[in-house]
Structure 1
Amino acid sequence: MLEEDVLKHSPTVLTKAQQEQFFEDGCLVVEGVADDRWLHRLRAAMQEMVQRSREVSADDGTFVLEDGHGPDNPRLRRLTSPVSHHPEFWAFAKESPSADVAADVCGPDVKFFHSKLNFKWPSGGHRFDWHQDIPAWPHTDYSPVTVGIYLEDCGVEQGPLLAIRGSHKPPMHSMYDRDGNWVLRIPEDDLAPGWRDDVISLTGPAGSAVLINCRVIHGSEANVSGRMRPMLLNVYSSADSMPYVVNPIPSPYQGEIVRGKPARWASHDPRGCELPPDWSTGYSGPWKHQTG
């Protein structure tokens, strides 16, 4: 669904001002989307998966490990497709206000695309370079939205998501370097003049939702604190938005309608989108692309 059509619908969780701010800035923080009951369930599921990772010694398609990971000192970068590995994560993606918030910015008919649980371990969680999401998984329109949930309080020391206000509006950057390598990175020299003035630090208490438009330029700094920064990220789209390529993070729930009804017609944005490598042969994760 295109932006002008989404805005014809009244939001149910967001205020109208918040809905309009999301489309103006390309990002938004909404506190209290995951209440204490959901946080308790999600943290318990997260701890189960962290315990399971103690038996893993190398990236295995489920866990992406950080340097120093071991059975006595688990350190993770990502749990890939958490909805595939614990029922609580799928319950949250489908039943919680997270999907209602998605409906407020991509239309009343919403389907699930994929999920990840990104960690920034204390004193070392890596930074993530500036990039745009949608070239990794292009759709027929730009309705896809990432709804990230902070499972713990996140201040500037924990390496919160950063976004460049309004960067979803100009033509998109290439996620390939000048030699044709997929790097999922935008060099700072290629950003618009004065871009630093538009950087927003998307901090928030536990339970906050961070909404990221699929075109907006975003990244994050390293976690320099003594506290972990886990963030659950669910990607939704309007029901009439169709993926062009293989989902790099597939799950049994891809394409499931979580709000409203299925689409009978596809939505098409006239702006084109760069295509990624062929993910059908495997997806190594964004950090390996950014570090070469």
Structure 2
Amino acid sequence: MLIKQAGKAAGLTKKAIEYYTEQGLTAPSVLENGYRDYSEEDINKLKKISVLRKLGLGMEEIKEVLEDKTETALKRLTVQKELLVQREQEKKKILDRLSCGGDYSKISEDLKAMEENCNIAERLLEAFPGYYGRFTCLHFARFLKEPALTKEQQEAYQVILSFLDDIPSFEFPEDLKQYFENELSEMGTEAIDKMLGEMKNSVENIEEFLTEKKDFIGEYVSFRKSEAYLESPAYKMTGLMKDFNNTSGYYTVFIPAMEKLSPSYKQYRKELEKANERLLTLFPEAADLK
């Protein structure tokens, strides 16, 4: 169909369609008279572009989404938007402080720290594939809200950046990647945030958690020892991630640097260790889980 009909079908103006065509987002055929002929596929693309533009995505982001057949790009962009929302919320808090007589020099330092820490979160998102990257990014983003004031913190920040720059690329085997993308395809940022919040709450209130979930934990430990689990994709993925983390410096470089950079993360790690010790007291058989 010609551009006028395409505009009506897609709910876009002629100028908008011409612009998206010039940007290479659609590629209509050209008739002998020089007019562009928009196919049903072009119309569907234009409808998607209209939605994505209204959601605030730029041209390059839209190109990435349209070219991606797995929706991986869209999921990654969702997390980036979540990080942006968090950053804007922090900026609002800083603006409130400024309006109440806050010191400009101190606030300038806080803004710099906020941008640096968001940089770490975004690099974490890029460092690991699929759902694991989104989970890792949002997990650590929760602890990246303090400014790097001391020399030790600033050095730790540089160590983390170097680690993320040099970390070898990690990709799951195709069969595992496909399995987990299918299993976790509905797991958006809200669901991940909820899961992370529940994890943090259980660690901080370990006695209450162990009392309420004692039967469930026992069943889970038994399942982790079963043949069904040892032959499952989850077991294979866990093994691959353990190997990767052990060889990449994740435990020896990244985690120690995170503890130096973020006091809240260091405290969380201490609580996690205590929770694990308490868990093993009640379920000693969990010590040799594979």
Q: Same fold (TM over 0.5)?
A: no
Q: TM-score range by the shorter chain?
A: under 0.3
Q: Name the one with the larger helix percent.
A: 2
TM-score by length of 1: 0.23
Higher relative contact order (CA 8 A, sep 6+): 1
Q: Name the one with the larger strand percent.
A: 1
TM-score by length of 2: 0.23
